[in-house]
Amino acid sequence: MANHAQPMSGAAPAPLPTAQDRFPTAYTILFALIVVMAALTWVLPAGQYERAANEALGKDAPVPGTYQVVDAAPQGVLDVLMAPITGFYNQATGVANAIDVSLFVLVIGGFLGVVNATGAINTGIERVMQRMQGREKWMIPVLMLLFAAGGTTYGMAEETLAFYVLLLPLMIAVGYDALTGVAVIMVGAGIGVLGSTINPFSTAIASNAAGIPFTQGMALRLVILALGWLICVAYVMRYAERVRKDPSRSLVADLKVENEAHFLRHRESHRDQVLTGRQQIILVLFGATFVAMVWGVALRGWWMAEMSALFLASAIAVGLVAWMGEKPFTNAFVDGSRELLGVALVIGLARGIVVIMDQGKITDTILHALEGWIGGMSDVAFVNALFATEGLLSLLVPSTSGLAVLSMPILAPLSDFAGVPRDLAVTAFQTAIGITNLVTPTYAVVVGALAIGRVPYQRWVRFIWPLMLMLALLSMASLSAAVLL
């Protein structure tokens, strides 16, 4: 229980609350957004498009021209309280929402808890630091290239959550901050999704919904991907080197001691240790697990359940190699999962916002309003308005595949009247959602990554908005040039 007694004479006064203390937590922000969306269901008219089965998409897709106002479904207090619960699992329909992602996060936490208990990771980090001394900054472009490759080929997003707890300690140990570690992963994979080439969850689904081959428009997307990657790498490296030379310039400088204590808490005890044979085997298993995850997702169609099973199996294998014993293994796994419990909770809370919108039947109403806004524009104005429209929609529907199925059947046909090729409509969609998903508070990847990295949301916004502006200008200039040419 907190002690509220007055301090004795001569005692140091209690510190004044900082801006960080006054700013609400991610939980409060997300729950407030649920309340706001529930309030909108009392103001905005409820409406829906008719849906028809689409064999190419494997889902029901909205039919253009069929929007109609339906009976209102205003969301009350009980609905608001149920939204975070339904965000995990819809008890009415039996459909899993965010529960699979949250469970994946907890299993990753348990896996890392077991690996950390062996000391292999911390000892390995010390050895890597010794070998890379003076060349640390080149980790950034190499890692961002790898994550961008994952993003552009198979839409690497939720899978990145497994990498934060691995790379954050390394980034902090070489002199960067937690924000740099988050940026390398999130921006790296994000630029890959923005410049998707064969990404089945973005380009392929959106192209199918637009009625065109996904290879159409590939050249422009490759140009955007290459230029965007260069911009992102230069931006992140500039910030990282500035922090390394002067830690006070970090956007999370006030959290430096706290973050180092959290991410490097075992470092001193492993500083002079040599990797044992068992630890070397554990590190091989550790790396092989991530390789297997990428292989399974990209080539075998794995998703959260299979990935969770993989990390559980790897945790057991590591425990056997280390010969930990049943109780130490169980304690390490549970302790590791406990550290990521807050991340798992915030993911379900974010999903609750979409739940309220769908139950209140205002998602299609918002889409219909935007459809009316961009209709009848000239070609250049249309493609840029479409870009802005998809960006706004992605704040409400952060899923690339979900937004593609929702918006492309409605908005792509409009491009025919504006004289804009449909492949540019697809490119406008994927670049817009790629940019906004770097900051969307309803997106599990964003809120989960920031929670793992212990980076406050408002600090991330302060870091990322100039980069988002540069990427938006690149996308709009590319789309406009493609229309004119």
- Over residues 278-314, the pLDDT tens digits come to 888 888 888 888 788 878 877 887 878 888 999 999 9
pLDDT band, very low/low/confident/very high, at 67 (cuts 50, 70, 90): confident
The residue ranges of every structural domain in the chain are: 120-265+361-484
pLDDT band, very low/low/confident/very high, at 4 (cuts 50, 70, 90): very low
Q: What percent of the chain has pLDDT over 90?
A: 35
> What is the residue whose two structure tokens read 């301090």?
7
- Over residues 384-418, the pLDDT tens digits come to 999 999 998 888 787 787 788 788 888 888 888 78
Q: Provide the pLDDT for residue 129.
A: 62
The two beta strands, 47-48 and 68-69, are antiparallel
Judged against a pLDDT cut of 90, whether residue 426 lies above it is answered with yes
pLDDT band, very low/low/confident/very high, at 20 (cuts 50, 70, 90): very low
